[in-house]
Structure 1
Amino acid sequence: MGRGWKTYVAVMAVTVLAGSLLTDGSPAELTVSLGTGLSMAAAILIGLRRVPHGERAPWRFFALGLLLTALASLADGQGADVLPGDGPDLADALYLAFYPAIGIGLILMIKLSRRRTDWAALVDAATVTAGLALLAWIYAIGPALRDDTVGLAARLVTIAYPIADLLLLAITIRLLRSNGREGRRAPTLVAAAVLGYLAGDMAWVIVPHVNEAWADVAGVGQVINTVYELSVLVLTMAIAWPQVRGDGQGAASVSQLSRVQLAVLTAAVMISPALMIEQQLTGGITNGLAIAIGSAIMFLLVMARFTQLLKQAERQSRTVSALSRTDELTNLPNRRAWNDELPRVLERARSARAPVVVSMIDLDHFKSFNDTYGHPAGDRLLSAAAAAWSAELRDGDVLARYGGEEFIVLLPGTDESKATAVLERLRAVTPAAQTFSAGLARWDNTETSEALIARADSALYAAKAAGRDRILAAEAYAVS
């Protein structure tokens, strides 16, 4: 944030706090409220020059939302009516228009993050929203619908606020989760601003419930209005860090719940039993059906989340198992996988009375290659050799990395002469003009896998001792 923006934010913060000391609804207070609102909307529009052209749409909708709230505060002070009688006034229309403007801006910002849909994040958002929706129903929506002292239009306006709050909350949670681990500052500040605004709305619901007399205390309303305006200021600040567009990578894994996320989800799930206890202690349960429905919805959401966690754990288990049996450099089976597979192949060969050959391969002068060209080049040689050799093997043959520059090949259904022909094909495609030595051994249908590998290894060392760049077979055994 540049010096100009810091100065502007500081001046606006002081102005908002000073305005909170003025008499609520007075001309001076209305002037300050209107002036700050219009100023912050204008600041976002001016700040658009910092934003790439393809990323300006969310900010335009945010500026529209701020303009609407500023005009709503003016209309609220003037008492302009949209409908006669006790129907909604112009301020209500402007305040309610704020929600779709901000909601569209949030959705566009989520799209700019370019992240894939994260279903676990959606379940988390739905769980928190469902818990707060139950609170809103019991303390705001339900009582408003049952209030026969006012007309239908006024009741619809009353319930429109908490419903809009809930929808905006769900979208905001989605934005936070779409922000990923990069934690770009603009989406974080935008989300914080919206959550602060929604906290002010929630305060208007909670305060009368706790103590109805507090709602008429001027200081309470001024504090809540200050929260609104400071939240709007945070939204204005966000454009100082306009970077929003993501890299298109997958969303951060939300299966690993942080302590804060777990605490929020736990609090949301505990709303139903807390309401049940509160009503039972204060004169009996009067919203049993609503609480039961809310509990069922949250139970289903928790089960959906639990299922996601189990699936994620299963995927991770399979991944870990695969990694533990795969060589990281060459993507070939590693020594552990080989030691598991060879006894099974030998047992099948015993039953079918089929020949099996095992060959050990060692790249010649690999240490000198590493010393000359460096270890990264040596790693590239191993990887390239594994890929080239794999392409020459038949279906059913198994190539594994045994360790260092040593590889081992399993050639089922093959005798020594055919195995030698296969290995000669591998020698011909060895990359970087390198050679290898190899030893092979045919299984005698009785020896252990360890003994078979030891004979192939002895043949390998005999090939290296004979001058390298050759293939030698261990002594042959007749198949019984």
Structure 2
Amino acid sequence: MRFHLVVAAIAVTGFLAVPDGSTLQLVWQIACGWYAAAMIVAAVRHRRPELPATWWLVALGVAGNAGGILVEYLMTLRGEPDFPSWADIAYLSLYPAVAMALFLLIRRRTAHRDWSSLVDATTLTTGLGLLAWVFMVKPAASDPSIGLLGHIASVAYPVGDIVLLAMTVRLILSGSARNTTFRLLCAALIFFLAGDGMWAVINQMVWEPGPMAHKLLADVFLAGYLVFAAAAIHSDVRSLSRAVEPRPARISRPLLAALTVASLIGPALLVLQATRHQVTDALAIALGCAVLFLLVVVRMSQLITQLDLQTEKVRELAVTDELTGLPNRRAWNTELPRTIERVRRSGEPLTVAMIDIDHFKSFNDAYGHPAGDRLLKEAAAAWQDQLRAVDHLARYGGEEFVLMLPAAAAGQARDIIERMLRATPLGQTFSAGVAAWNGTETSDELIARADAALYRAKDAGRNRLVEADRQPPVGVG
């Protein structure tokens, strides 16, 4: 890696000292591109990345693009080449090769369906694509002097940039894992897109760059070649294609700013053309604005849906015990009064039990808190298997649990609790206090009777259940 960095630094800085338009400059550019492609091939054979096809395609695109320089030079020796020429095919080979490489990489990294990243990438690409249409694609397509093939080739360059931009943005937004190879790959893509963008601006300005400006522009592409190679050489290339966690659903401030700018490109173009009293792209701008508006609506819908899911999750966490997954005391304090009111109307029996795992503190001291947590989780799961669908088990706090048995008289309740006692894992036992609702008492009074029975079970030696003293309804003596 260090050797490559030294070579890359010498190649990029030394190129500026090479005379512009010289044969040495030509050889230097081709050598940098083919050296980078060769280093990528060597890295694939040595590093053995999980998705080698990605890097074979990148090497093919880099070698083809650099080869276009040689093809153009050879055709120039025989006279001024026509447009398009075989050199254009070589130059353009970079776009499908690298785009396919990025497609494979994104598909491997994002096994999940990350629709929010896809919408964001489409929004940014649509905005910039509208800009490219007005200033690059449409002028190239309407030039009558270059013929059909010339139109196709002229349009292929900006369209290739748009596709590459879309894939780059999608890659950047594809997930949260970003190692050194990932950053280098994105940097190489940005170098190429920046180089094409600068040439597009120069062509729009009808400006002929001087020797130093021309070398600086060419140096941007050389840097892209060499950074591609650096990405492949780095040891992180092995893990680049592994599936990653989706990025957070929230929109970061830089992304929000980028989405805002992209959404305003259409109106800005319309204002620009209106001030010149020459609105020539009304249809394209209108369609672009409509697509951007719909994408913003879709993104807002995704955010609202995500907010609803998070709200529901918070609501669920508020009434769920994190360790056992059972309802917690808050949920119990809501459910018991509600059930009492229901059985008051129906006349069904209702039994409540307080359960306490025996000698839990001694178990924790002997085996450690992780083992104690495992006991609570396994006990909750084992007890749930012994309950009916209508029964309600909750964690009351610590090693205490509460059980509500609707439509269960004392005998049936005893059978259920004894099954739970036999199912308790890790050789542990519990004590239980059982109270049947007397028809008038409040939920707090019912729990108090069950709790008192629990303490009697503990005092009697544990590993048993004790029924609470039955209280007659108020007014009956």
TM-score (norm 2): 0.93
Q: How does 1:241-260 map to 2 (within 5 A)?
A: 241=234, 242-248=237-243, 251-260=245-254
Does 1:236 pair with 2:229? Answer: yes
Distance in 2 between residues matched to 1:332 and 1:8, nearest whole Å: 58
Deviation sequence 1:366-393 (CA, Å, 0-9, x none)? 1111111111111111111111111111
Corresponding residue number in structure 2 for 1:203: 198
| Structure 1 position 245, deviation (Å) | 4.8
User: Is residue 2:414 matched to residue 1:417?
Assistant: no
Q: 1:339-381, CA deviations, whole angstroms, 9 ceiling, x for partnerless residues?
A: 1111111111011011111110111111111111111111111
Deviation at 1:474, TM superposition (A): 1.6
Inter-partner Cα distance in structure 2 for 1:169 and 1:66: 17
Find the partner of 1:464 among 445, 454, 458.
458
| Contact 2:51/2:241 (<8 A) preserved | no
- Distance across 2 between alignment mates of 1:82 and 1:332: 82
Deviation of 1:53 (Å): 6.3
Map 1:316-395; keep pairs closer than 5 Å.
Answer: 316-395=310-389
1:310–1:187 Cα change, 3 Å: same
Shift of 1:478: 4.8
2:183 is matched with 188
- Summarize the Cα distance change of 1:247–1:436 in structure 2 as closer, same or farther, 3 Å threshold: farther
CA offsets, 1:70-91, max 9 Å, x none? 2111223344599998530122
Matches within 5 A, 1:52-71: 52=48, 54-71=50-67
- 1:47 corresponds to 2:47: no
SS in structure 2 opposite 1:243? Answer: helix
2:219 corresponds to which residue? 226
- For the 8 Å contact 1:16–1:36, the answer to whether it is kept is no
How far the C-alpha of 1:246 sits from its partner, in A, is 4.8
> Counterpart in 2 of 1:156?
152
TM-score for the superposition, normalised by structure 1: 0.93
> Cα–Cα, structure 1 residues 64 and 463, in superposed 2: closer, same or farther, change >3 Å?
same
Is residue 128 of structure 1 aligned with residue 128 of structure 2? no
Number of residue pairs aligned between Structure 1 and Structure 2: 472
Q: What residue in structure 1 maps to residue 255 of structure 2?
A: 261
C-alpha spacing 1:83/1:96, structure 2 compared with 1 (3 Å): farther
Give secondary structure in 2 for the equivalent of 1:215: coil
Q: Distance in 1 between matches of 2:149 and 2:78?
A: 11
**Pair 82,440 (structure 1): closer, same or farther in 2 beyond 3 Å:** farther
Distance 1:368 1:85, change over 3 A: closer
| Contact 1:109-1:244 at 8 Å conserved across structures | no
Task: Say if 1:215 and 1:119 are closer, same or farther in 2 by CA, change over 3 A.
Answer: farther
Residue identity matched to 2:217: I
Q: What corresponds to 2:470 in structure 1?
A: 476
What one-letter code is carried by the residue in structure 2 that aligns with 1:430?
A: T
Identical amino acids, percent of aligned pairs? 42
Distance 1:85 1:58 in 2: 33
Distance 2:197 2:87 in 1: 19
Q: Give the RMSD, CA atoms, in angstroms.
A: 2.2
Q: Secondary structure at the match of 2:249?
A: coil
User: Are 1:310 and 2:304 an aligned pair?
Assistant: yes
CA distance in 1, matches of 2:130, 2:52: 36
1:35 to 25, 31, 36: 31
Alignment map for 1:6-17 (pairs within 5 Å): 6-17=2-13
> Can you list the C-alpha shifts for 1:238-291, whole angstroms capped at 9, x where unaligned?
012222355545x32341222222222222112112222222333443322211
Three-state SS of the structure 2 residue aligned to 1:392 is coil
1:88 maps to amino acid: P
- Counterpart for residue 429 of structure 2: 435
Q: Cα–Cα, structure 1 residues 307 and 114, in superposed 2: closer, same or farther, change >3 Å? A: closer
Could you tell me which runs of 5 or more consecutive residues in structure 2 were left unpaired when the two chains were aligned.
none
Structure 1 residue 22: deviation in Å?
A: 3.2
**8 Å contact from structure 2 (residues 181, 232) kept in 1:** yes
1:183 alignment partner, SS class: coil
Question: Is the CA contact 2:356–2:430 (under 8 Å) kept in the aligned structure 1?
Answer: yes
Asked whether the equivalents of residues 133 and 166 of structure 1 are also in contact (C-alpha less than 8 Å), the reply is yes
Counterpart of 1:298 (choices 292, 303, 309) is 292
